[in-house]
Structure 1
């Protein structure tokens, strides 16, 4: 299946075909964008698109792309009998689809994810605990990135909660980026 965002370019104007819940940038809060509003594409990476409307930025997830008149991507999920290894692989795959709305490299390749742990509670519920950082302590995108990751990971029915802790120790540096990320950003 091809990505419907492949044909979308920065600056493109798109009228909303229906009301859609989006994540406000940089606050990370869900808001509803009204039908017929005309948004401007700021970045279309991975499985989501960031758009500008009336001077404010919003993130629209891939499974809601029909609101932009595009084919929606299926919401990421897992089969009911998934093993812990399959659940962990699913979590990392979803983290690879999360982008800082200002940087065209996913948060794993950027080196922002310091750790990810899947815990099973006595009740049998599975909880994901993620430790991550931001490229700078003053970066306002933390809540947006965390909310995007949380929504994507909660697509697995086996996961009941996702805790994301944003830490600044150790501080992020360019050395934490993968070689592919440095190539993409021209930081060699």
Structure 2
């Protein structure tokens, strides 16, 4: 974002915008003039605090917070194989409650690519959530799909959500554990 706001900046919405309540995932309309506090701005979304509750706002709505959305994704290093490009994209998807990407959180169990036919690449991601009842699951899954679909050579994305094995904090990378203070 330009006109950069540090995390925990208080801003007033300059127009109505849609958001998803965290952790329920319920869609709500935030009204122009509402004061919110930016809690985190990572990947393709921002998490804001509104009246003591968290809500996720897509970066394409950044102008409602008086900000300008920059490119939503980190630049892709040149020369990467498709599988490495997919992993790069997955590292730019974040849980709205946790300031760590879903790869380092240990939510991605497997990535496979079927590219046997020319100009067709089906990417299948097997993943989990930090809790089976996580209301943000559909939102995170959609972020995964959009991120991978942004790769020109990908023609289809499937996300298989599984809960066996169940996620636990030991699945996090050392980087994630350090970031969250659990190592």
Q: Higher mean Cα deviation, 105-114 or 117-126?
A: 117-126
Match of 2:68 among 63, 68, 71: 71
TM-score by length of 1: 0.74
Match of 1:138 in 2: 133
Distance in 2, Cα, partners of 1:182 & 1:72 = 29
Match of 2:38 among 37, 41, 47: 41
Pick closer, same or farther for the CA change 1:185–1:42 going to 2, 3 Å: same
Pick closer, same or farther for the CA change 1:18–1:64 going to 2, 3 Å: same
Q: Deviations over 1:91-145 (max 9, x none)?
A: 2222112221111211111111101122237584322211111122233322221
User: 3-state SS of the aligned residue for 2:64?
Assistant: helix
Alignment of 1:86-101 (within 5 A): 87-101=82-96
Match of 2:123 in 1: 128
Distance in 2, Cα, partners of 1:186 & 1:76 = 26
Q: Higher mean Cα deviation, 176-185 or 140-149?
A: 140-149
Match of 2:145 among 144, 150, 153: 150
Pick closer, same or farther for the CA change 1:153–1:21 going to 2, 3 Å: farther
1:62/1:74 contact within 8 Å kept:
no
CA positional deviation for 1:13? 3.3
Q: Which runs of 5+ in 1 are unaligned?
A: none
Pick closer, same or farther for the CA change 1:181–1:67 going to 2, 3 Å: same
Q: Which runs of 5+ in 2 are unaligned?
A: none
Distance in 1, Cα, partners of 2:153 & 2:113 = 11
TM-score by length of 2: 0.76
Distance in 2, Cα, partners of 1:34 & 1:22 = 10
Match of 1:161 in 2: 156
